[in-house]
Homo-oligomer: A and B are copies of this chain.
């Protein structure tokens, strides 16, 4: 299987073979991430919260939408000189501090709803 670096290279080759960089401004890629995220969400629009209804066909369609979000997200990060893996590691460290495990365990409150939460 490819590494993330190989995936980045393939995405850029696909784009550049079509001369599409001219359309891939950060703003347009951010729009595209939202658009694809909502095509993904559409698969769950009317469903209940459990996943029992995911058939193999639906799973494949969902995988395609996940890929589309990932495609634009990885490209945007790369275009802006942001390393996705590193950005996630940094955000996880921030969230570790914002949401100490012993304080938030089992609760989905947003951290701003915790009186003493760091801002």
Contact = CB atoms under 8 A, between A and B. Distances in A.
Contacts of A18: 99, 101, 104-106
Give this chain's copy count. Answer: 4
A30 interface: yes
Given A27-B49, A37-B34, A44-B26, A17 B90 contact: no
A105 B23 contact: no
* Chain A interface, >50% SS class: helix
A41 B45 CA distance: 12
Interface of A: 1-4, 7, 10-11, 14, 17-20, 22-23, 25-28, 30-35, 37-51, 54, 59, 62-64, 66-71, 73-74, 76-77, 80-92, 94-96, 99, 101, 104-106, 108
